[in-house]
A = this chain, B = another copy of it.
């Protein structure tokens, strides 16, 4: 059903671009749902707009129809994702659009959710509504990398963050590591944390850095603050790999009352831990990390932001679990006795090292940010 993009008018393009912009406002809070934006337009004028904020609250189409009221009749709906066809926590949007008298629906992309997957558009078409799909599809894909990957593979989208020197070192030989990169780079990290469904780290990182692994609203970019007020702040789930039960209920991690999962393959006594801290016991396995991410996918976590040391980084890379590398590189040389970026004990030949795909290269203060994706994605 994908239509050649030349079939869309300049006006179509403008309204869909606005719908995508609206969708972005929901990215901090919508997990496990996708971020979706909707514009209703009639005779070239916007009659309603909306986006999805949070599971349980109105879908983008509902918000736009609410704003449009009677004006929805005869309008075209621009939606960044195919309208849903199933009755979940909210009624099916396709049905709502039909009832409101919308005459045309343009969707940026199909919803891969097996409960939708074309049914929404079919429901609309069956009701005599003109439908088309594929406008700004690439941009719509970027909005929901996490949700889309989970729907397609069952696994969350994994972003591995690393801060290093020019020569790929994360700490001095003596362990000294705070701070390699500058303040602006550290602030940049906050936006990724804020969008992630969960933050993954290890007991070692938590203990060495006394890490809180929270989103600090005050450090978000003012442009994000403008669309994401502090009172709506969502803290991502914090997942700590702690096979040896080393994380005690003390330190900055426990200072914020927000969910923590301690993961290991042996149950521990949770007495003394606050109620927001649970344990997740997974069976021992040589594929422990793959099993963990499969579990996290089942728990409806769309995306996982990883902040950890060279060991976990290497294991995730070797297990091909990383979708994106986000690298902050400070303009320093630390020398070959300093600590390395990732431990890859099974890589012996240059030709066996996969090529990552550079998708972003930005200067952030004195540092640079490099974003790489696996070529297969």
Contacts and interface: CB of A to CB of B under 8 A. Distances in A.
A172 B350 contact: yes
Contacts of A164: 167-168
Contacts of A347: 172, 334-335, 338
Contacts of A165: 168, 353
A347 B314 CA distance: 26
Q: Which of A327, A353, A356 has the most CB of B within 10 A?
A: A353
Contact of A342 (B335, B339, B370): B335
B174 A348 contact: yes
A166 interface: yes
Contacts of A338: 347
Given A166-B168, A167-B168, A334 B353 contact: yes
A335 B363 CA distance: 25
A204 interface: no
Given A348-B174, A349-B172, A357-B331, A372 B166 contact: yes
Interface string A291-328: 00000000000000000001000100100000001010
Contacts of A361: 361, 363, 368
A341 interface: yes
Q: Give how many copies assemble into the complex.
A: 2
Nearest to A346: B335
B167 A342 contact: yes
A168 B165 CA distance: 9
Secondary structure of the A contact surface, majority rule: loop
A127 interface: no
A355 interface: yes
Interface residues of A, number: 50
Given A167-B340, A335-B343, A340-B336, A358 B363 contact: yes
Contacts of A317: 333
B335 A314 contact: yes
A172 B348 CA distance: 7
A176 interface: yes
A88 interface: no
Nearest to A362: B361
A180 interface: yes
Nearest to A332: B353
Given A368-B370, A370-B166, A331 B344 contact: no
A91 to B, nearest CB: 46
A226 B325 CA distance: 40
A345 interface: yes
Nearest to A347: B335
A331 B356 contact: yes
A358 B368 contact: yes
A177 interface: yes
Q: Which 4 A-B pairs have the closest CB atoms?
A: A168-B168, A336-B340, A335-B344, A167-B168
Given A168-B168, A331-B356, A336-B341, 6 more contacts: A166-B356, A167-B342, A168-B169, A172-B348, A337-B344, A355-B366
Interface of A: 164-169, 172-174, 176-177, 179-180, 310, 314, 317, 325, 327, 330-345, 347-350, 353-358, 361, 363, 366, 368, 370, 372
16 contacts: A164-B167, A165-B168, A166-B325, A168-B168, A172-B347, A177-B350, A314-B336, A331-B357, A331-B358, A333-B356, A334-B344, A334-B350, A335-B342, A337-B344, A337-B345, A358-B366
